[in-house]
Structure 1
Amino acid sequence: MESVESGLVIVDKPSGWTSHDVVGRMRRLARTRRVGHAGTLDPMATGVLVVGVGKATRLLGHLALTEKGYDATIRLGESTNTDDAEGETTATASAAGVSDAALEAGIAALTGPIEQIPPQVSAIKVNGERAYKMARKGEEVALRARPVTVHAFTVTGVRRHGDVVDVDASVACSSGTYIRALARDLGASLGCGGHLTALRRTRVGPYDLGMARTLDELAVKTEVLPMEEAVASAFPRRDVSDDDARRIAHGGRLPAAGQGPGPVGVFAPDGTLLALVEERDGLARPLAVFVS
């Protein structure tokens, strides 16, 4: 049986699965080893995981850099060693006195361009070793703060249960933002600690939950977003002549067309996707060529 065509599969990741587990399942469904994903989701999290099949695996690194959206639940009053519900509780402090005004002020301080220290249990490498492996051995991991942007951090619900407060929120943020760290830092700023209890990714760039399919649905019918549609929806589009198409197909450069610093999708006259290019120093240079 032949493998499915190259393209993107937008998966609604189930809770309890790692992103790698999903890739393994998709390899069987797509009948090819050439499968990867853009932007890891923690096992606890659910929602949009962009999976590339075949040639589309070469798009993933560029798609991972786009803006993401999340629905989250943050519990104030309890801290954990992983900054989420999968870790062990390390401290408790009553959040009963946290007012709605204080909550809004704390969230406002975490909105916009911020410096964020990643969670101790994260995949970031420190001296060649993953931080989470060091943390599991009981080592204190010194992670540097990194610039990220929280475009929107909106409270959608507040539930008070004695000493803990559960805050539902919607977050839109740049690549590299840890929602677990937002929960931790919000709790720290309010003096009661906090951690993430639920996370659902609603969007990666232009790909949202409306396009996502569960693994059970994909087992019945593996829906693949063709390469041309995937690129046209995520990046600026440039249509070129036959001569320029031949040049790009062989890794050549074109004059820049003023379409910005990010990746641009280049298409042949017949609509075939040729390449992703970036414009620099007056030239459009190939990042990835998809035809040979």
Structure 2
Amino acid sequence: MTSPVTPGLVIVDKAGGITSHGVVGRVRRLAGTRKVGHAGTLDPMATGVLVLGVDRATRLLGHLMLTEKAYDATIRLGIATTTDDAEGEATARTSAGHLDEATIRTALAEFVGDIEQVPTAVSAIKVDGKRAYALVRAGEEVELKARPVTIHELTVHKVVSHAAEQVPGDPAHDLDVVDVDISVRCSSGTYIRAIARDLGTALGVGGHLTALRRTAVGPYTLDHAKTLEQLDEGFAVLPIADAARAAFPAYDLDAEQAQEVRYGRKLALPLETLTAVFAPEGEFLALYEPAGEMARPVAVFTG
């Protein structure tokens, strides 16, 4: 087994067909520790940036999950599915061939900004102590409440109309569908599948995702990511101090302040938001946030 690595983040470019938990399992073996977690699940169908924490850095993950994310996706208009993506069964088919690009762009523009979004039913949200996706798979009806999310930017790259693949015995085998390639930059908690579903509903034709690739989680992009195959060849961890400086504003302490942090005490620091604080020699000590005229520890990473 590989010797335990230093605490830090592993940025994975997840392939399609593997679960986020499966990626965690692979990284646990490579890191030589079971203390590995991830900052936000990717569906098996989805690919792209999955941020993992190793050892003490797992405590950073809850804070990283609150950062904005970016995605590339393809929406197919004309078919609604049970899961709002291509892994589900079709529930409705309506020709979308009459939709022009201008109409689609106008409809998508309505999703930009602060909106109320009903999460997709096949999600990890808990309902009465059980995951929503587990209830759906058990045949139960799941109704989730709308949640506030923010779509900072939504760019339409391409709109293509074509005939759907023929389905034997399906009277709508000559259905015209429209594929829409988009990029989205959004707040944590946004479901891109729900955008596909809601766009289809708004246009009266149904919709689902056929492809989803996460391109960024906070400051970590595909440029920082390695595939599992690349990690097998050379395991790479972003040290916890570098990870904290990249993800949060940084404040360098003097020796006396650093000692106070080790005791978990409040400090008189001029902070404006959640901030990573460092010892004079560069060691990452804690996350602090403003608290009136003082700053209080949110998480201390020493010891």
> What is the TM-score normalised by the length of structure 1?
0.98
Give the aligned partner of residue 167 of structure 2: none
Superposition deviation, residue 268 in structure 1: 0.6
SS at match of 1:274: strand
1:3 and 2:14 aligned:
no
Distance 1:145 1:213 in 2: 35
Superposition deviation, residue 283 in structure 1: 2.0
Distance 1:276 1:18 in 2: 30
1:214 to 216, 227, 250: 227
Superposition deviation, residue 2 in structure 1: 2.0
Give the aligned partner of residue 195 of structure 1: 208
Superposition deviation, residue 129 in structure 1: 1.3
Distance 2:132 2:302 in 1: 39
The CA deviation string for residues 159-189 of structure 1, in whole angstroms up to 9 with x for no partner, is 1103100110000000000000000001110
1:85 and 2:86 aligned:
yes
**2:121 alignment partner AA:** Q
Deviates most, 31-40 or 154-163: 154-163
1:287 and 2:298 aligned:
yes
Q: How does 1:20-99 map to 2 (within 5 A)?
A: 20-99=21-100
1:184 and 2:208 aligned:
no
Q: Residue 256 of structure 1 contacts residue 280 of structure 1 at CA under 8 Å; is this kept in 2?
A: no
**2:256 alignment partner AA:** D
1:269 to 258, 277, 280: 280
Give the aligned partner of residue 104 of structure 1: 105
Distance 1:266 1:194 in 2: 46
The CA deviation string for residues 124-154 of structure 1, in whole angstroms up to 9 with x for no partner, is 1111111111111221111000000011111
Distance 2:204 2:81 in 1: 15
Distance 1:253 1:34 in 2: 29
Q: Residue 236 of structure 1 contacts residue 259 of structure 1 at CA under 8 Å; is this kept in 2?
A: no
**2:196 alignment partner AA:** A
Distance 2:228 2:291 in 1: 40
The CA deviation string for residues 246-267 of structure 1, in whole angstroms up to 9 with x for no partner, is 000111110131322xx21000
Give the aligned partner of residue 245 of structure 1: 258
In the alignment, structure 2 segments of 5+ residues that lack a partner are: 164-175
Taking only aligned residues, the RMSD between alpha carbons, in angstroms, comes to 0.9
2:269 to 256, 262, 266: 256
**2:254 alignment partner AA:** S
SS at match of 2:92: strand
In the alignment, structure 1 segments of 5+ residues that lack a partner are: none
Distance 2:138 2:227 in 1: 35
**1:278 alignment partner AA:** E
Superposition deviation, residue 101 in structure 1: 1.4
Distance 1:50 1:11 in 2: 6
Distance 1:216 1:173 in 2: 29
Question: What's the % identity of the aligned pairs?
Answer: 60
Q: How does 1:113-132 map to 2 (within 5 A)?
A: 113-132=114-133
